Amino acid sequence: MEKAFKDETIDLDVQALIDNKRKKKSISGKIEKLVPAFLLLCASVSVLTTAGILFTLLRESITFFSSTSIFDFYTGTQWSPWSGHFGVLPLITGTLLITLIAAIVAVPLGLMSAIFLSEYASNRARKIIKPTLEVLAGIPTVVYGFFALTFVTPLLKSFLPGLGVFNALSAGIVVGIMIIPMIASLSEDAMNSVPNNLREGALALGATKLEVAFKVVLPAAFSGIMASIVLAISRAIGETMIVVIAAGASPALTFDPTRSIQTLTAFIVQGATGDTTFGSTIYYSIYAVGATLFIFTLLMNMLSQYISRKFREEY
């Protein structure tokens, strides 16, 4: 009888374990069904946000272009919205001038930093230098702006006495400093993805370390390097606070870096102040300029993706 009681107890324990397992499996199955829906919702947030921004820009821009010719807007050489002149070319040239100066500063310094970190630095040096370099990316852009205005501009004046307080040169240089970490970090990651056997093969053939870096590693990591440069330039195009503080607010159709200029983003800041009447032509011109900036950054991102696909090396 005692044995029968024990057998019955064991049967109950086994049945309880089976029931618990089925219950856990049922709960796990429900969670598995919910997780894809939750992940899809998270992935949709960025898409819906982009769609919302695009819809807002297009709606307000269409309202602006209903009263202003789109041809005159993109070919006009005078930008003075408070006087009724809506030729956006001075803002475009100002943006391109800042971007060009920034690229001249950032591309060589960023690539040389990446080559050093990838090919020459020891592990200890890399662990110290790379995080320190990336700290630059975390500095607020308003701090960069005041740095350009109060330090870089007076320094440049010692070499260029005729340089104004507000100028494109100092703003472009500081924007270039700001995007160095993006180029250096992404390019270094691209170089590290190149297999070591390519380096070892080149060294075995008698190549120097410098020749390996420039003739083997750089061509092999070309797609990643170019993508980092394009993304950094896209970041420079959209920079706001540095150019607002250091470059001035004088829209001029010029490529003279010593003059005060205004960029697309700088006008958006200026036009979004309380002096702009809601529903006025100037108000809607902010969205037209924003749409132009959106097109610039979209084209740069598409170029980055094209370069990545076109020149990607697979090992």
Q: Are residues 243 and 121 in the same domain?
A: yes
In a 3-state reduction of DSSP, which class is residue 55? helix
pLDDT given at position 100: 93
Last residue of a domain, one of 45, 66, 87: 66
Last residue of a domain, one of 66, 91, 107: 66
pLDDT tens digits along 167-184: 889 999 999 999 998 898
Supply the pTM of this predicted model: 0.81
Q: Are residues 52 and 180 in the same domain?
A: no
SS (H, E, C) 251-275: CCCCCCCCCCCCCHHHHHHHHCCCC
Q: Are residues 88 and 174 in the same domain?
A: yes
Helix ranges (DSSP H) in the chain: 2-65, 70-75, 89-115, 123-134, 141-147, 153-157, 168-192, 196-204, 209-212, 218-220, 222-237, 241-246, 264-271, 281-310
Q: Are residues 231 and 271 in the same domain?
A: yes
Q: Are residues 29 and 95 in the same domain?
A: no
Instruction: Identify which of 128, 106, 102, 104 has the alpha carbon closest to the alpha carbon of residue 117.
Output: 128
Confidence of residue 6 (pLDDT cuts 50, 70, 90): very low
Q: Are residues 88 and 107 in the same domain?
A: yes
CA distance 86 to 78: 7
Residue 274 lies in a domain: yes
State how many domains the chain has. Answer: 2
Identify the residue whose tokens are 């390996």. 212
Residue 100 lies in a domain: yes
Q: Are residues 215 and 258 in the same domain?
A: yes
pLDDT tens digits along 230-259: 889 988 888 888 898 888 888 888 888 888
CA distance 296 to 236: 11
pLDDT given at position 106: 92
Helix ranges (DSSP H) in 66-88: 70-75
Cβ-based neighbour number of residue 262 at 10 Å:
25
Q: Identify residue 299 by its one-letter amino acid code.
A: L
Residue 315 lies in a domain: no
Q: Are residues 304 and 220 in the same domain?
A: yes
Q: Are residues 135 and 231 in the same domain?
A: yes
Give the domain extent around 30: 1-66
Q: Are residues 132 and 62 in the same domain?
A: no
Identify the residue whose tokens are 């494109």. 168
Residue 143 lies in a domain: yes
pLDDT tens digits along 102-126: 999 999 999 998 888 888 888 888 8
What mean pLDDT is reported for the chain?
Answer: 82
**Is residue 300 within 8 Å of residue 234, measured between CB atoms?**
yes
